[in-house]
Structure 1
Amino acid sequence: MKFSCEKALLQSVIATTSRAVSTKSSIPALEGLLLQAGDILTISGYNMQTGIRAKVSADITEGGEIVLNARLFGDIIRKMPDDVVTFASDDRFMVHLSCGDAAFDILGLSAADYPELPAVEDEFSISIQQKVLREMIGQTLFAVSTNESRPVHTGSLFEINDKGLTIVSVDGFRLAVRREPLEKIDGGAFSFVAPGAALSEVEKICEDVEDLACVTLGNRHILFEVGDTELICRRLEGEFLDYKNAIPRNNPIRLIADTKALIESIDRVSVVISDKLKSPVRCVFDHEKVMLSAKTGNGESKDVCPLSGDGGGLEIGFNNRYLMDALRYAPAEAVQIELNTGVSPAVIVPTDGGESFLYMVLPVRLKAAE
């Protein structure tokens, strides 16, 4: 196997595919990257849950395939000078790498030991702009559960129908929903749950461009195609929360807040809160303002943030981080906050009555006024 390739291109593809490599595995090949040279050079990483395969432009003089330790190969390429990397391997899996005056000889493994990445049947698929998919994942991923007792909630629900794509994440304390119209749907309406860890990689692979990404649903796997890179992951099975019935929408109190100003107010009163000294942020929603306060062993903090509307003096407590996350990821400069009672969730939606996003945060029970 022989090829030459620009160092920057090779380094970028190794960095992307290495994110799907097992750091420790009973199968040594899974700690490596699979290099396949045919008409084009393809590099793959796979940890039996998620696989990333990427094509890279190279001048191939002799085809073949080999597995190289991902960490070692990545370190060598990263430390080489910025020039063209020349790669040559023999039938004993010895690899010679050279670039400028730098040269390395390392031992690879047989590609026959490398498990095959799953094939994904093309039954249902959608196309969506990369930048839109990246934003949607980023604006919901923070609410994915880390609790393995309900594995289905460690991923995000994708719902596809004639209205477009809806992505939903929930962790028992908060819920995030993002909706966008779609350019193309094949196979009709469908839904699936994709693992949060895989979506985090999809978010990194997607670029801030209008080029389309394609999402294909198979029987057991999901394929994300972004440019020359493919990510394949297992579907999460199980009953996802019936989120539509979990969201209270006939809330009597509706207030408009400047997103940035409210985040800054919560951030200020959160100064006295730490991992050791936890406390909810106490919010009193009044006429045209919300009064925020927090009290711990570190001290006491207070602030006032202007709002539009009247909260009628409603007092409610929130986990400072959960409320700030919902506001921070809301893609709008101003949001509508819907409230009912001191023990009902807060619902954050667009001010124009649209449905492009919805965030719900459960309250924290407050102790008697101090």
Structure 2
Amino acid sequence: MKFDILRDRLLEGLNDVMKAVSSKTTIPILTGIKIDVTEEGIRLTGSDADITIQTFIPVEEDGQQIIHIAETGSIVVQARMFNEIVRKLPTNDVEIQVTPGFQTHIRSGKSEFHLIGSDAAEYPLLPELTEDQKFTIPADLLKTIIRETVFAVATSESRPVLTGVNWQIKNETLICVATDSHRLARRKVQLENLPKVEHSVVIPGKSLNELNKVLEDSTNLVQIVITSQQVLFKTGDVLFFSRLLEGNYPDTTRLIPEEYQTNVTINGKSLLQAIDRASLVARGDRNNVVRFEILDNQAVEVSSNSPEIGKVQEEIPVEALEGESLKISFSAKYMMEALKAIDGQDVVIQFTGAMRPFILRSVHDDAILQLILPVRTY
């Protein structure tokens, strides 16, 4: 195997696939990156068995020759070392050659590295997915859905299924739900090209966070293929596979109240900043608890106190108030993350009582819903 490639284009491809490579894997060959060279171009594959990312670099792109292929073939090279070497090569022209015994030679300018590679035949094959259940979604919308839900997944492995986001497809709607059993984030999206068959799968939160990084600058359409054990996100020349989590995701619809005693409409940005300030004092407390009280004068009070540090209180005007007055306490972290997901818009907060879950929605957009369980302090 022998080819020349432009270093910056090789680095672009490596940046994508390195996101799937983990040094903690129990399968030694997965600490490597697989390089497949064909007449059409080069495929790079990285995997940690949960996530697999593959990217394709064509021989020619936008009329520019990127790769000159002298000999096709495949090799697996140690991922972190190969990535570091390519990053530090002295010129933009790189020649890579594999000789018998999986010896891999990397040359650039006057610099020459010799790495010991591994047999590509030992690298796990990508799953074969039938594409009959596929749909597309714009990359920026997909990134928004991830941002608005993934923060609410559980971090503890005690209930593994809660470490993922539940994606349901029904009635031409994609419903994405994340919960760690103390809070819940839900986003609904109407899409025209959804499969007719109903689906309910759980995508690991870790996979969605990595996908978000891969989509960083993308404005393309993302093609999504869902099967019973895998999901594939396909954008441009990048394929992103993730395994799905096993187990039944809890029915979260019954957690969302049908009726509310109190509705508060308030500027989301002002509330976020006030809770941020209150949390400075609350931080000394293990739960970082902030209190929220509805006052009689069309305002709410946000406060916190800590026996060791002191206390803070702040009044914020509300834009509309219906129903009974109320005192409630909650985790500042959960509330701030929920408000950030709604992204500084005016929010409606709906309460059914001091110890019942409460809901946050955007005034402008019913597609986003955040639910938080209060903390008992009063």
TM range (shorter): over 0.9
Contact kept, 8 Å, 2:279 with 2:332, in 1: the verdict is yes
Rounded to whole Å, the distance in 1 between the matches of 2:71 and 2:266 is 63
Rounded to whole Å, the distance in 2 between the matches of 1:262 and 1:347 is 15
Indicate whether 1:315 and 2:327 are aligned: yes
Contact kept, 8 Å, 1:205 with 1:226, in 2: the verdict is no
Indicate whether 1:295 and 2:305 are aligned: yes
What residue is the counterpart of 1:261 in the other structure? 270
Query: CA shift at 1:87, angstroms?
Result: 1.1
Contact kept, 8 Å, 1:222 with 1:232, in 2: the verdict is yes
Which ranges of structure 1 fall in alignment gaps of 5 or more residues?
Answer: none
Rounded to whole Å, the distance in 1 between the matches of 2:251 and 2:22 is 34
Q: Report SS of the residue matched to 2:354.
A: coil
Q: Report SS of the residue matched to 2:298.
A: strand
Indicate whether 1:52 and 2:53 are aligned: yes
Aligned residues: 366
Contact kept, 8 Å, 2:284 with 2:309, in 1: the verdict is no
Rounded to whole Å, the distance in 2 between the matches of 1:263 and 1:110 is 54
After superposition, where does 1:110-125 map in structure 2 within 5 Å?
110-125=119-134
Rounded to whole Å, the distance in 2 between the matches of 1:134 and 1:32 is 28
Q: Report SS of the residue matched to 1:185.
A: coil
**Corresponding letter in the other structure for 1:334:** D
**Corresponding letter in the other structure for 1:46:** S
What residue is the counterpart of 1:304 in the other structure? 315
Indicate whether 1:91 and 2:100 are aligned: yes
After superposition, where does 1:278-289 map in structure 2 within 5 Å?
278-286=287-295, 287-289=297-299
What residue is the counterpart of 2:62 in the other structure? none
> Taking structure 1 as reference, are residues 173 and 96 closer, same or farther at Cα in structure 2, changes over 3 Å only?
same
**Which of these residues, 123, 135, 143, is aligned with residue 126 of structure 1?**
135
After superposition, where does 1:225-240 map in structure 2 within 5 Å?
225-240=234-249
**Which of these residues, 306, 329, 340, is aligned with residue 328 of structure 1?**
340
Contact kept, 8 Å, 1:25 with 1:31, in 2: the verdict is yes
Contact kept, 8 Å, 2:345 with 2:363, in 1: the verdict is no
Contact kept, 8 Å, 1:124 with 1:190, in 2: the verdict is no
Instruction: Kindly provide the CA deviation profile for residues 339-367 of structure 1, in whole angstroms up to 9, marking residues without a partner as x.
Output: 12110112011214x43100001100014
Which ranges of structure 2 fall in alignment gaps of 5 or more residues?
Answer: 59-66
Instruction: Kindly provide the CA deviation profile for residues 63-102 of structure 1, in whole angstroms up to 9, marking residues without a partner as x.
Output: 1000000010011011123512221111221111122333
Rounded to whole Å, the distance in 2 between the matches of 1:123 and 1:350 is 35
Query: CA shift at 1:117, angstroms?
Result: 2.1
After superposition, where does 1:1-370 map in structure 2 within 5 Å?
1-38=1-38, 39-57=40-58, 58-81=67-90, 83-274=92-283, 277-286=286-295, 287-296=297-306, 297-310=308-321, 312-331=324-343, 333-352=345-364, 354-367=365-378
> Taking structure 1 as reference, are residues 82 and 276 closer, same or farther at Cα in structure 2, changes over 3 Å only?
farther
> Taking structure 1 as reference, are residues 226 and 152 closer, same or farther at Cα in structure 2, changes over 3 Å only?
same
Contact kept, 8 Å, 1:129 with 1:209, in 2: the verdict is no
Runs of 4+ deviating beyond 6 Å: none
> Taking structure 1 as reference, are residues 25 and 361 closer, same or farther at Cα in structure 2, changes over 3 Å only?
closer
Q: With the length of structure 2 as denominator, give the TM-score of the two structures.
A: 0.92
Rounded to whole Å, the distance in 2 between the matches of 1:207 and 1:279 is 32
Q: Report SS of the residue matched to 2:169.
A: strand
Rounded to whole Å, the distance in 2 between the matches of 1:277 and 1:152 is 26
**Corresponding letter in the other structure for 2:228:** N
